[in-house]
């Protein structure tokens, strides 16, 4: 694609996000995080030149490599993958804008210890396994609120900003919608939560209509 074709292509993705958010309300603002896990630093740079600022990675070593390579640009980095305890310090050294996948109390405790030792805080989202899928990480919907309050109380260096969820793995829109509604219902109940991160390339319009205000778009943003 030429640069102009690329811009037109991205404009069309943005238009789809706009149309979906306006169906909710003119006041409903949705942020796009471009998930760059299948893309190169060069791909990221070309999205940056047409205005994209927030990028997401799901492996600590990739986040490290790409954020270093693109150090000269004012980018926002989101970590959206499962975090192994032995990678916590590596993640904290990168100091990402938002860690979107806090998925257990165990991890929260370990993260709190490491944050305290480094005298830093980290903005985080709690991951919810809304469709209760074996293959996915995250808190079960029925445990989420209690765990969220528990983390606020016990882990002062973890700054919880809301929730993240991956839509149900299904061909049936009703089932996917239900998983988004489950997440949104939890989100509404949480104190001071401002981010409801749901929706990927295949289901972001539905997610936005269910209340998402942050979409994580990979393949569609990078035209893969």
Ligand X SMILES: *Cc1c(COP(=O)(O)O)cnc(C)c1O
Query: With CB under 6 A as the contact rule, which of the stretches 17-25, 102-110, 152-160, 216-224 interacts with ligand X?
Result: 216-224
**Least distance (Å) between residue 199 CB and ligand X:** 8
104: contact with ligand X by CB under 6 A: no
Q: Which CB sits closer to ligand X, 193 or 200? A: 200
35: contact with ligand X by CB under 6 A: yes
98: contact with ligand X by CB under 6 A: no
Q: Which CB sits closer to ligand X, 94 or 152? A: 94
82: contact with ligand X by CB under 6 A: no
Q: Which CB sits closer to ligand X, 107 or 166? A: 166
200: contact with ligand X by CB under 6 A: yes
Facing residues of 158 across strands?
122
60: contact with ligand X by CB under 6 A: no
Q: Which CB sits closer to ligand X, 6 or 37? A: 37
58: contact with ligand X by CB under 6 A: yes
Facing residues of 57 across strands?
79
Facing residues of 122 across strands?
158
| Nearest residue to the partner ligand X, using Cβ | 218
37: contact with ligand X by CB under 6 A: yes
Q: Which CB sits closer to ligand X, 64 or 118? A: 64
User: Distance between CA atoms of 41 and 96, rounded to whole angstroms?
Assistant: 17
138: contact with ligand X by CB under 6 A: no
- The two structure tokens encoding residue 67: 């954020």
Pairing label, strands 54-57, 214-217: unpaired
What string marks each residue from 159 to 198 as x (binds ligand X by CB under 6 A) or -? -------x--------------------------------
Q: DSSP letters of the chain?
A: --HHHHHHHHHHHHHHHHHHHHHH-TT---EEEEE-TTS-HHHHHHHHHTT--EEEESSHHHHHHHHHHTTTS--EEEE-SPPPGGGHHHHHHH--SEEEEE--HHHHHHHHHHHHHTT--EEEEEEB-TT--TT--SB-HHHHHHHHHHHHHH-TTEEEEEEEEPPPS-S-HHHHHHHHHHHHHHHHHSTT--EEEE--TTTHHHHHHTT-SEEEE-TTTTT-
Query: With CB under 6 A as the contact rule, which of the stretches 1-9, 59-67, 182-190, 210-218 interacts with ligand X?
Result: 210-218
Positions in the binding site for ligand X (CB under 6 A): 35, 37, 58, 80, 166, 200-202, 216-220
């Amino acid at each position: 694609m030429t640069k102009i074709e690329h811009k037109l292509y991205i404009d069309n993705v943005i238009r789809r996000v706009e149309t979906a958010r306006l169906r909710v309300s003119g006041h409903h603002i949705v942020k796009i995080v471009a998930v760059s896990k299948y893309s190169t630093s060069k791909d990221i740079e070309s999205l940056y030149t047409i205005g994209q600022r927030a990028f997401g990675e799901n492996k600590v070593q990739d986040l490290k490599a790409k954020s270093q390579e693109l150090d000269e640009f004012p980018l926002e980095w989101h970590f959206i993958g499962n975090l192994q305890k032995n990678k916590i310090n590596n993640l904290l050294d990168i100091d990402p804008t938002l860690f979107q996948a806090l998925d257990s109390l165990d991890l929260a405790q370990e993260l709190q210890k490491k944050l305290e030792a480094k005298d830093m805080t980290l903005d985080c989202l709690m991951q919810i396994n809304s469709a209760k899928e074996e293959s996915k990480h995250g808190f079960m919907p029925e445990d989420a609120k209690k765990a969220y309050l528990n983390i606020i109380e016990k882990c002062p260096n973890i700054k919880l900003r809301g929730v993240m969820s991956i839509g149900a793995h299904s061909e049936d829109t009703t089932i996917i919608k239900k998983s988004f509604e489950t997440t949104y219902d939890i989100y509404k109940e949480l104190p001071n939560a401002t981010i409801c991160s749901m929706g990927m390339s295949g289901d972001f319009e539905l997610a936005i209509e269910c209340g998402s205000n942050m979409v994580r778009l990979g393949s569609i943003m990078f035209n893969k």
